[in-house]
Amino acid sequence: MSTQQPAARLYATAAVDLVKVYGGGDTAVHALDGVTVGFTRAEFTAIMGPSGSGKSTLMHCLAGLDTATSGQALLGGTDLTRLDDRLLTKARRERIGFVFQSFNLLPQLTAAQNITLPLDLAGRRPDAELLDYLVTALGLADRLGHRPGELSGGQQQRVALARALVSRPEVVFADEPTGNLDSWSGAQVLGLLRDAVRDLGQTVVMVTHDPNAAAYADRVVLLADGRVAGELDRPERGAIVEALQQQAVMR
Ligand code: ADP
């Protein structure tokens, strides 16, 4: 991936020699130490690695939530590191979907209002057919008038998923999306993420420490010490656990 153009065509999002240094001098932390990795369109990728390996920093830089020290953070053909704050906010709002561990729904709005909020803010109308499809596929049809406080954790995360998907973003970034869910609700959310990739051609990049969650992905990218340390294609749980154990032994 030596130039921007092939990356722009092949990948929904990509990091090119991405460096992020926190602080300076003797106490500088190289959270990302030259990461080059691409995330293919319509693929579900899990980012894994030990605590402190740079997973969150990589996701935040690719999602325009944090600024890199050097290198490129590509969204399609756009290098986010070159955008000013206004354009970065616009790119984040219009081209990226987010699913967080803590759901991040607005408590005073109904499920329906939460789902369409990002589109409303952007002055766009939701695609009625897609909205219908998502509400049915996510099992939310009889919950649309409820506020988040009246919904279970799993239902709240499915609302967050509908909100992320309804704008057909170029990438959905999911940050430990099952971290606050019981295993049954978590499995449901992961299955729905996988369906969105398969049925809607959605690109999903998910940070997780859970091998069960990562086994839903098409590919696992392993980080260690701010670098890409390996990857697994079509990973099964056993292979993921083994790779993580090997990583732990190497440290
Ligand atoms: P992970 O998500 O894999 O646990 P992070 O991306 O959160 O790793 O962190 C990578 C490294 O960067 C860690 O050493 C962490 O302590 C450091 N780090 C992350 N955020 C900050 C920050 N805001 N200020 C200073 N150091 C940070």
170-207 confidence digits (pLDDT tens): 999 999 999 999 999 999 999 999 999 999 999 999 99
Write down the pLDDT at residue 4. Answer: 47
Query: CB of 40 within 8 A of CB of 172?
Result: no
Give CA 125 to chain center in angstroms: 24
Is residue 73 situated within a structural domain?
no
Q: Which residues' Cβ are closer than 6 Å to ligand 1?
A: 22-23, 29, 31, 49, 51-57
Is residue 65 situated within a structural domain?
no
Name the residue range of residue 46's domain.
41-60+84-250
Is residue 47 situated within a structural domain?
yes
- Residues sharing a CB contact under 8 Å with residue 80, sequence separation 6 or more, in sequence order: 61, 62, 64, 73, 74, 88, 91
Ligand 1 nearest-atom number relative to CA 50: 3
Distance between CA atoms of residues 44 and 238, nearest Å? 18
Query: Could you give the number of structural domains in the chain?
Result: 1
Confidence band, pLDDT 50/70/90 cuts, at residue 209: very high
**What does pLDDT average to over the chain?**
93
Is residue 5 situated within a structural domain?
no
CA 218, 136, 122, 106 torsion-angle sign = negative
Distance (angstroms) between ligand 1 centre and the Cα of 45 equals 21
Distance between CA atoms of residues 165 and 137, nearest Å? 12
pLDDT in tens, 60-94: 999 999 999 999 999 999 999 999 999 999 999 99
Is residue 1 situated within a structural domain?
no
Is residue 6 situated within a structural domain?
no
- CATH number of the domain enclosing 188: 3.40.50.300
pLDDT in tens, 133-173: 999 999 999 999 999 999 999 999 999 999 999 999 999 99
Write down the pLDDT at residue 9. Answer: 62
CA 119, 125, 129, 135 torsion-angle sign = positive
Is residue 241 situated within a structural domain?
yes
Distance between CA atoms of residues 234 and 215, nearest Å? 8
Ligand 1 nearest-atom number relative to CA 59: 6
Total-model pTM? 0.94
Distance (angstroms) between ligand 1 centre and the Cα of 77 equals 27
